[in-house]
Amino acid sequence: MTTSALRAKPRTPRRIAFSQKLGRWDVKISPYLYVSPFFIVFAVVGLFPLLYTAWVSLHKWDLIAGQGPWVGLDNFTFVLGQDQFWEALRNTLSIFLLSSVPQILLALLIAAVLDNNLRGSTFWRMSVLLPYIIMPVAVGLIFGQLFADKYGLINNLLGHIGIPAIGWHTDAFSAQIAIATMVNFRWTGYNALILLAGMQAIPRDLYESAAIDGAGRLRRFFSITIPQLRPTMIFVIITATIGGLQIFDEPTVFDQYGTGGADHQYLTLTMYLHNIGWQQLDFGRASAIAWLLFVVIILIGLINLAITRRIASNEGRLR
């Protein structure tokens, strides 16, 4: 035996051990590496701003001049003490309910219709998406003409059938209905397409066997489509919730001032945030509002999730 052979012998198992270790790491670590790009990007563009905003909200912070002295929770107490904040919260929730609920019900209906074998199905599917690709500002201009208080088309038509003009901009509830209409115009088709995709994934034999068992159209819709659609529904409802609570474009372009109406009839939380941060240049208070909005969205999201789960599983039992 030479010395080199002697040396080689203990070396070989070591090399195997190392490559084995590499292999084991590969199995253990690689999946995390593969998903890491998302989390790295999220940490940079999602988590960092979130934490930075929290840091800003604890200071007096001018948008331009930058960081001022530490003020603790003063920004939060100030915001929570403002009537405007609570009005904005009320309006946001109200516009959210007025838009999301009819929007999802309508989207479900449209999706169910489109799920049938229609002639020129691509055409119909594209047309429901059309409002979505129109710029919100353009939608604002069109609806501004429709909902104008004195010379608007809708009040004009109402006048012809003897209904007194509605104060679309002055009355809080009417204004919110008008804004919800703009939101629904834009998002119903988008949600309908997502629901349609979910419906198409439902195995057709379920319907066939149900039909053989004598189930009618309605029965099939409520006992097969809805329960099978549960994951898609949860997705649609959660995204609609987040979008609905962050509503900004529509109420902003609803008048020429973008400040939410003379009596803050349609001031939403994001608009309030924008007014404080970009009009009054108070970044600290704006950040406090951003965090309060974040908390509100999480709360509503959780409530929503609980309700959606229950509804979906109840209907599941009907089967």
Partner 1 sequence: MKLSRRTKIGATIATASILALVATGCSSSAGGGTKVDTKTPITLTLATFNNFGYSKELLASYHKLHPNITIVSKIAATSDAAETNLFTKLAAGSGLGDIEAVDGDWMPKVKQYATKFEDLASADNKGRYSTFKTAGGTVSGKEIGLGTDIGPEAVCYRSDLFKKAGLPTDPTAVAGLLSGDWAHYYQVGQQFAAKNTGAAWFDSAGATFQGLANQYANFFESSDGSVVATTNPDVKAAFYSVLAASKTDSSHLQEWSTDWATGMAKGAWATMLCPPWMLGSIQQDSPKVTDWNVADVFPNGGGNWGGSYLLVPSQGKHLAEAKAFTDWLTAPAQQLAAFKTAGNFPSQVSTYTSSALLDSTNAFFNNAPTGKIFVNRAKAFTFVPFKGIHYGDIMTVVQNGLTRVETKKQTVDASWAQVVKEIKALG
Cβ closest to partner 1, residue 34 vs residue 257: 257
Q: What is the closest distance, in whole angstroms, from the C-beta atom of residue 93 to partner 1 in the complex?
A: 20
Q: What is the closest distance, in whole angstroms, from the C-beta atom of residue 180 to partner 1 in the complex?
A: 19
Alpha-carbon gap, residue 57 to 289, rounded angstroms: 8
Cβ neighbours, 10 Å, residue 102: 15
- Site residues (CB under 8 A) for partner 1? 44-45, 48-49, 52-53, 63-66, 82-84, 136-137, 140-141, 144-145, 148-152, 167, 169-170, 248-249, 252-253, 255-259, 261-263, 270, 274, 278-281, 283
Cβ closest to partner 1, residue 100 vs residue 275: 275
Cβ closest to partner 1, residue 112 vs residue 253: 253
Q: What is the closest distance, in whole angstroms, from the C-beta atom of residue 81 to partner 1 in the complex?
A: 9
Q: What is the closest distance, in whole angstroms, from the C-beta atom of residue 83 to partner 1 in the complex?
A: 8
Cβ closest to partner 1, residue 114 vs residue 182: 182
Q: 67 forms bridges with which residues in the sheet?
A: 61
Cβ closest to partner 1, residue 139 vs residue 195: 139
Cβ closest to partner 1, residue 92 vs residue 225: 92
Q: What is the closest distance, in whole angstroms, from the C-beta atom of residue 29 to partner 1 in the complex?
A: 29
Q: What is the closest distance, in whole angstroms, from the C-beta atom of residue 281 to partner 1 in the complex?
A: 6
Alpha-carbon gap, residue 58 to 78, rounded angstroms: 12
Q: 182 forms bridges with which residues in the sheet?
A: none
Contact criterion met (CB below 8 Å) for 186 and 137:
no
Tokens 């590969």 found at? 26
Q: What is the closest distance, in whole angstroms, from the C-beta atom of residue 101 to partner 1 in the complex?
A: 25
Cβ closest to partner 1, residue 149 vs residue 315: 149
At 125, the amino acid letter reads: R
At 89, the amino acid letter reads: L
Q: How far is CA 221 from the centre of its chain?
A: 26
